[in-house]
Structure 1
Amino acid sequence: MRYDLDDLRLFLAVVEEGSITAGARRVHLSLPSASARVRALEHHAGVGLLVRGRRGVHPTPAGAALVRHIREVLAQTARLEGAVASYATSPASSLKLLVGGSAMHGMVPRALVTFLQEHPGVDVHVTESRTPDTVRALLDGEADWGVVVEDEALGHGLVTELLTDDSLVVIGHSGGVLAGRTALSYSEVAEHPLVGLTAGASLRRWIEKHAAPQAPLVRYRTTVGDLSVVCALAAAGVGLALVPRHAVDASLALAVCALEDPWARRRQLLARGPARGPVSEAAAALAVHLRGAAARQPVR
């Protein structure tokens, strides 16, 4: 048989209220209409569902079983309606953010958490991107914001502002070869086994582009896709690593030394395309959260 959801809601209300009158009132039906619906439900079920008495009604065993299933059906219906409703209206806005790999460690995730919580009607599409690619996308109007490395982004006509320091440091096990050192050159670092990011990572490619041509050929003991894993491997004594200072995990037993090569001093900028009008309210709000996350970024 086919069950009408309104009849099921009525029957549940009647059982929970203990009265057809009160149940009818709860679902905004008249008493005659509610009584007729309950009788029709019992007729179609072929079994009595309610025990009627002077002090109200209570379910028969069949009625109690029906109530359990009604609750499950209504819960599933609510979930179904919620799932479909999420596609019924487009979000108020959709933003595209392009970021370098090191910005994906800490700063951007923190900004996304607070922004998305405060702006449920806005979607943010985040893509890891090298600075030259981000610059081209911003100039072509293909993204709202980019987090870029300063020396590769200036001079292209972008609107930029300083976001955070992204200078590189050398890390290794606290009791290892870095003990007693405060700074090393890349050539010295390259003489030791390293752990690093995978070859396609934007930070790895940036390091290899700027490293001195005369530096020794680097031996990577392993490469991974996450800076947190790189830090953990370095702390375990697997090898030295080059990471942004803000990526160093203070909870790990790490020695930290400055990388003295000039190219190791980097700054990240928040950038957008050439000004062609006011920034949207959603984009401006995302920038506020990125600035806040950068200001809260721990530095060791």
Structure 2
Amino acid sequence: MRYDLEDLRLFVHVVTEGSITAGARRMHLSLPSASARVRALEAQAGLPLLIRERRGIRPTPAGSTLARHAEAVLAETIRLDSAIAGYTAAPRRPVVLVAGASGMHRIVPLALTTYLRAYPEYDVSVSEHRTPESLRMLAEGEADLGIVLHDEAEDTDLTLEPLSEDHLVVIGQAGGVLTGRTGMTYREAAEHPMVGVSLDSSLRQWIDRHLPANAPVPRYRTLVPDLHTLIALATSGAGLAITPRRAVTASPDLDICPLTDPWSLRRHLLAHGTRRPASRRATDALADHIRATANS
């Protein structure tokens, strides 16, 4: 039998997601088109590959076997592409990715690590922007992909998809006021000396925008430009800090306490730009690596 690589890639996505609809979305296909491709695979195999259920699908034994071997074939294809990448011409321009501070701290570096290793023939231009500026760049054709905040992306016509959730937490030196705490409000945190990020940062503006008018004004011992410095200061005992949970690595020297205010939950979206990409394959592959990193 002869298999189409795009059909195999779709089938792997369908099995992984447990849904033909979700698999179609990963491939940027309509549901009827994706369903037809899956049925064609089953017709070619001569037996059912999926069991359709009310809440999605699950593979038959034959479907599981096909998905496993399809993953191996697709991985080998990536290695083949990499092997000849040095002989191919570079795209006219790199994929342009924009993201806020939280995404730049963890999601973007990890996604780029796997993407650039898997696709040596593609380049990526990355820059940090707050969500409103990222949305403008995507809408005006200055960027291909963006990681943006849900609450700030409600009035856009861009294509958006859920990416991840990230809680804000309070962090401080181990053995301090956070020890034994399972939760803390902003009002409680503001009773203690704090360190924070600069006033123009996306995190600081998110916090200030959601605080009620009667919220206490904390004593900030210093304001720093990035999360790396903020976490280092909090770990050293300079003061408590509020930071995205995703940005913090567990350490014996650091106590981490969830922030319990309703606005402490932030939802990230993956936004797709309006301009025609230099390489659709390069852009779609980077989006896949961002999704995989956010879900890991």
TM tier relative to shorter chain: 0.5 to 0.7
Unaligned runs of 5+ in 1: 1-85
Matched residue, 1:126: 126
C-alpha separation in 2, matches of 1:121 and 1:108: 19
Q: CA deviation at 1:287?
A: 0.4
Q: CA deviation at 1:162?
A: 1.6
Q: How does 1:185-224 map to 2 (within 5 A)?
A: 185-224=185-224
TM-score, normalisation: structure 2: 0.65
Q: CA deviation at 1:279?
A: 8.1
C-alpha separation in 1, matches of 2:234 and 2:146: 30
Q: CA deviation at 1:253?
A: 2.1
TM-score, normalisation: structure 1: 0.64
Question: How many positions carry a matched residue from both structures?
Answer: 209
SS in 2 for 1:116: helix
Q: CA deviation at 1:174?
A: 2.3
- Whether the 8 Å CA contact 1:96–1:145 is kept in 2: the answer is yes
**Alpha carbons of structure 1 residues 250 and 276: separation in structure 2 relative to 1, 3 Å:** same
Q: CA deviation at 1:200?
A: 2.5
C-alpha separation in 2, matches of 1:122 and 1:210: 40
**Alpha carbons of structure 1 residues 233 and 156: separation in structure 2 relative to 1, 3 Å:** same
Matched residue, 2:249: 249
C-alpha separation in 2, matches of 1:228 and 1:277: 32
SS in 2 for 1:215: coil
C-alpha separation in 2, matches of 1:276 and 1:267: 27
Could you give the per-residue CA deviations for residues 135-165 of structure 1, whole angstroms, max 9, x where no partner exists? 1222222210110011111341221112121
Matched residue, 2:260: 260
Unaligned runs of 5+ in 2: 1-85
SS in 2 for 1:151: helix
Matched residue, 2:179: 179
Q: CA deviation at 1:118?
A: 2.2
2:197 partner letter: L
**Alpha carbons of structure 1 residues 252 and 164: separation in structure 2 relative to 1, 3 Å:** farther
SS in 1 for 2:200: coil
- Whether the 8 Å CA contact 1:92–1:122 is kept in 2: the answer is no
1:261 partner letter: D
C-alpha separation in 2, matches of 1:97 and 1:252: 34
RMSD: 2.4
Q: CA deviation at 1:277?
A: 10
Q: How does 1:65-144 map to 2 (within 5 A)?
A: 90-91=90-91, 93-144=93-144
2:235 partner letter: A
Q: In percent, how many aligned pairs have the same letter?
A: 49
C-alpha separation in 2, matches of 1:210 and 1:179: 27
- Whether the 8 Å CA contact 2:144–2:274 is kept in 1: the answer is no
